[in-house]
Amino acid sequence: MLKLNLADFSLEHFMAHYWQQKPVVIRQGFDHFTDLISPNDLAGLACEEEVESRLVYKKDDQWQAEVGPFESYQRFGKEGWTLVVQAVNHWSPEVAELVKPFAFIPKWRLDDVMISYATPGGGVGPHIDLYDVFICQGSGRRHWRVGDLGEHKQFAAHAALLHTEPFEAIIDVELAPGDILYIPPGFPHEGVALEESMSFSVGFRAKSSCDLLSGLADYVIDKELGKALLSDSKRPICQHQGQINASDFSIIKAQLQAVLDNNTLMADFAGSYLSKTKCALDLQALDEPLAAKEVVNELLAQPLLRTGGLRCLYVDETVTQGVCYIEGERFDFGPACQQAVVALCDNDALSHALLERGLQNPEFVRQLTEWVNAGFWYFQD
Ligand code: SIN
Ligand code: CO
């Protein structure tokens, strides 16, 4: 298993002084780090319809970006281009391993593992990201510049490329295999490949209020909640017909606030919303479905592995009822299953012992079997 080495500071120091605050280079964060997927296999993935990918290069000094799937890479030549593939942790169990050393950040904050393969001189240009990213250097070397927070003008260098104006560097480094560059949201940065190279970016995306409110609106519509109409019985006689007076304004705000104050509704929304993936999962349904008994027996023999990128969460507010949220859905197994639900969400590999209490509950076993047959979890052999 990959182990993160922070030679110059402790994890606590990193969280207190760098996380969400300032960029830092972690030299040899991974000892003897080698590519978790080959450039060839990465290029192959970007030929698949369900995989999100982009190829960025310059033509006559103009930035160009093409969206995958790609059929061939021959026309791009040997220099000056980068292939970026999203959510590779969904498609490669080896790449999914790279999420584990970052388990000091909860899963609900994780976005995905994005990988870029670049030929010499290749890069995606100077830009600003909205997420925290750990850029782990694989094979080859890349030159990275990171600027400070500030009023950086952004512009579309191409319809699919949001760039930022040139910036002064506060970090100017060459990354070698095993080095990690951590960049919080908002810091402009640019990487240029010094030779053929691979970067593995573990991204953590925080939601904006706009994201959350639009997600909440979708949730209440979908679940047909929040339908009670605003009530203003015993209203005093209105003096100014065009006015929304202070008292009415309070009623309107209170109506919305009542939704936010409903902890069960909000826990169910947060769990469902945050457990949905934005990219496709590699769900491989079993050709010959297993019976519930077979799943339980197999669990005694080998671990049950979670498919890369599948998001399983619980919220303190509802977990006491044995509730968890998986891929946007709410599952309710009852209070006796609390421990099993926690184990299901906290572990990538499940054993019979970990799920013990849940396996005594027929509904838990039925649902687990359904998940295994649909490919959410799988036995290696
Ligand atoms: C890259 O790996 O080329 C781009 C990563 C980033 O800047 O976020
Ligand atoms: Co970036």
What ligand has the least distance to the C-alpha of 113? 1
* Confidence at residue 65, expressed as pLDDT on a 0 to 100 scale: 96
Tell me the one-letter amino acid at 116.
Answer: S
* Confidence at residue 8, expressed as pLDDT on a 0 to 100 scale: 86
* Confidence at residue 255, expressed as pLDDT on a 0 to 100 scale: 95
Q: Which atom of ligand 1 is nearest to the CA of 133?
A: 8
Which domains does the chain show, CATH number per domain? 11-204 (2.60.120.650), 211-261 (no CATH), 292-379 (3.40.366.30)
Task: Give me ligand 2 centre to Cα 332, in Å.
Answer: 39
CB-CB contact of 217 with 269 (8 Å): no
* Confidence at residue 117, expressed as pLDDT on a 0 to 100 scale: 98
* Confidence at residue 224, expressed as pLDDT on a 0 to 100 scale: 96
Query: Could you tell me where the beta strands, DSSP code E, fall in the chain?
Result: 24-26, 53-59, 62-67, 81-85, 110-118, 131-137, 142-147, 154-158, 161-164, 169-175, 180-183, 189-193, 197-205, 304-306, 312-313, 323-326, 329-332, 349-350, 377-379
List, for the chain, all residue ranges whose pLDDT scores fall below the cut of 70: none
* Confidence at residue 206, expressed as pLDDT on a 0 to 100 scale: 86
Residues framing ligand 1 (Cβ under 6 A): 82, 116, 123-124, 129, 133, 135, 189, 191, 199, 201
Q: What is the pTM of this model?
A: 0.95
What ligand has the least distance to the C-alpha of 201? 1
* Confidence at residue 381, expressed as pLDDT on a 0 to 100 scale: 82
* Confidence at residue 142, expressed as pLDDT on a 0 to 100 scale: 98
The two beta strands, 154-158 and 323-326, are: unpaired
